[in-house]
Amino acid sequence: MKNSILVVMSCLVFSACISDITDTVDKVQNTKSIQWNPTIAVPLVYSRLALRDLLDEAGDIDFLEVESDGSLKLVYSDEYISQTAEEAIDLEDQSYGETFTLSVSELAALNSSGTVTVTYERELTYISGPNETDRISFKAGDLVMGLTSTLDHEIDFTFRLLDATQNGNAFEPTLNSSSFPHNVAERIDIAGLDIDCTQGTLGHSQLRVEIEMTITKGGGAVKPVETISYTAELENQQFQFMQGFFDTQNFSSASSSLDLAFFENSTGGSFTLADPRIQMIFSNSLGFPVQASVVQFDGTNSENNTVGLTGLPDPLPVPILSLSEVGQVKVDSFSLNKGNSNLADFINNRPSDIAYEVSVTSPSGSAGRQWVLDTSKLGVKINVEVPFEGTARDFSIESTESFNLELESTQELKEVLMRLYTENGFPIDVATQVYFEDSVGNVLIDSLFDSDNLILPAGQLDGSGRVISANPKTIDITLDNDRVERILDANRLRIKVFFNTPFDNGTQPDVKFFDDYDILIQLGVQAEILVEQDL
């Protein structure tokens, strides 16, 4: 927590009040009068602070939730997103080609009639490592076709995918070469191309192709041996949908972290929550079994002490999607509490930073046929719920503030009295100390109190643990001229605050915080000044 009740009050004390005292001293020094010992009283603060006000100062108000009974909790959330299927699955470039030699009868037909059409059917293998492809739909990519030949005649070449459509139409790209030497190529966009790869003899990973060539006789002679060669290459492939069998795939993303600002400035003591919870919500859109596990979930406090969370299920309960659920997202979750994990010890370590990593893979040999969309992924939403109910024992928070006190005539400042009146409507005792320091030499110069001082005693509780009346407290702090002279050398304030929930017959019962709890703060200052001026 970046600020606290005492941080707020200390900032008020050492900005507003010093400024007002200085202005008042200047006014008195400029007064034409006889020797005079005035006491000047300056009201500085009258404020009621609710817990949400203090959390707003700490930057935690966005995480605050109010329950139906008015109780409060902080909910920190983060979302882990695995790699998408498009990021995890690389499609290999496919390369096909063949050289055809025209038969004697085909050459004779060309020579006699002036034209001949020849057709070949082929089953081309779609190579994807150990995977088996049943169907693939492309959102981008290129088919690069090339044609060469010894024929001195016009050639119309068609490469027809028999089990494919592009945007609902047959896919049969063509090349035309009308003059010798034949060496033509063309790049064809395959966006929208959908191929059924199950119609070949293997039942998967095959493209059935019909190659058709129409040769029209030109001016040259028909030689005894004539050849035609083609190449066809699939490049830059980006799939939109794939179906088949997929070998082990790794969808893991980089590790992530979650910041808990509530513990950011914590420096010691214990803070035990009555009912902390961590919930993980899984949203899966991968169409094959996914094995996910948490390989790291470590909480580190401001003193660099780390505690790992235990009790996480392994593997995690990731929902599975069938072939009939293409495009859907399934959700499952689990929760950890202090009963099924070491969450109490984990939170008691006051973690300001949680580092976690999730491993996401598809196990090898998964039964059945599977599917993926390019956008398929596993998402894990992590909610850390911190209800404001529990106990604190010397739980401390420390913060530093810049400080600058300038007084032109300190010899005329005899004494400064600050009076702080509070009414604490929270069920927690607060003690504090303010240190004046030299940041350059890292030297302690003075402290505001002789010892850690109880400024805000807890409010009175009823039998159910709810505050029924605020507890008043008045504190006077006197700074004489010598102390003021000393703290003129300070340029930094270090504010340390201690929190303790009250004891009841030697035990420390859990206390709960509600939205209507608040604290009244009234702050005033009196400066006794000696002004000596000749008549």
Q: Looking at the predicted structure, is the pLDDT value of residue 255 above 90?
A: no
Residue among 143, 145, 150, 136 at smallest CA distance from 182: 150
pLDDT band (50, 70, 90) for residue 486? confident
pLDDT exceeds 50 at position 4: no
Residues in the chain, total: 535
pLDDT tens-digit series, residues 79-117: 999 999 999 999 999 999 999 999 999 999 999 999 999
- Within 363-466, strands assigned E span 370-373, 378-387, 389-402, 413-424, 429-438, 443-447, 453-456, 460-461
CA distance 335 to 282: 12
- Residue 41, CB-side half-sphere exposure with 13 Å CA sphere: 4
Out of 32-46, 193-207, 452-466, which region has the weakest mean confidence (pLDDT)?
A: 32-46
- Mean per-residue pLDDT of the chain: 83
Residues 228-240, mean pLDDT to the nearest whole number: 97
Evaluate if residue 43 carries a pLDDT over 80. Answer: no
Q: Poorest-confidence range of 166-175, 192-201, 216-225?
A: 216-225
CA angle 529–533–535, rounded 5-degree value: 140
Residue 3 pLDDT level (bands cut at 50, 70, 90): very low
Rounded to an integer, what distance in angstroms lies between the CA atom of residue 137 and that of residue 193? 6
For residues 11-31, give the mean pLDDT: 41
Average pLDDT score over residue span 169-193? 94
pLDDT value for 265: 66
What is the pLDDT, as a whole number, of residue 56? 66
Task: Give the angle subtended at the CA of 80 by the CAs of 304 and 325, to the nearest 5°.
Answer: 160
Higher-pLDDT residue of 446, 263:
446
Buried b (16+ CB within 10 A) or exposed e, 322-354: eeeeeeeeeeeeeebebeebbbbebbbbbbbbb
| pTM confidence score | 0.70
Query: How much is the pLDDT for 57?
Result: 57
Q: Could you check whether the bond before residue 427 is cis, i.e. omega within 30 degrees of 0?
A: no
What confidence score (pLDDT) does residue 48 get? 75
90 CB-near residues (< 8 Å, 6+ apart): none
Pair 328, 285: CB distance under 8 Å? yes
319-369 residue pLDDT tens: 988 888 999 999 999 999 989 999 988 988 888 899 999 999 887 655 678
Asked if 422 and 522 touch (Cβ cutoff 8 Å), the reply is yes
Contacts of 532 (CB under 8 A, 6+ apart): 35, 412
User: What is the pLDDT confidence band of residue 34, given thresholds at 50, 70 and 90?
Assistant: very low
Note the pLDDT tens digit of each residue in 148-164.
999 989 999 999 999 99
Burial of 5 (0-12, 13-18, 19+ CB in 10 A): buried
pLDDT tens per residue, range 49-85: 777 766 665 556 678 888 898 888 888 899 999 999 9
3-state secondary structure 441-483: CCEEEEECCCCCEEEECCCEECCCCCEEECEEEEEEEEEEHHH
In this prediction, residue 181 has a pLDDT band, given cuts at 50, 70 and 90, of confident
What DSSP string describes 259-315?
Answer: E-GGGTTEEEEEEEESS-EEEEEEEE--BS--EEEEEEEEEE-TT--EEE-----SS
User: pLDDT above 70 covers what percent of the chain?
Assistant: 83
pLDDT band at 480 (very low <50, low <70, confident <90, very high): confident
Identify the pLDDT of residue 389.
87
* CA nearest to 249, candidates 380, 79, 382, 376: 376
Pairwise CA distance, residues 98 & 96, whole Å: 7
Q: Is the peptide bond before 315 cis (omega within 30 degrees of 0)?
A: yes
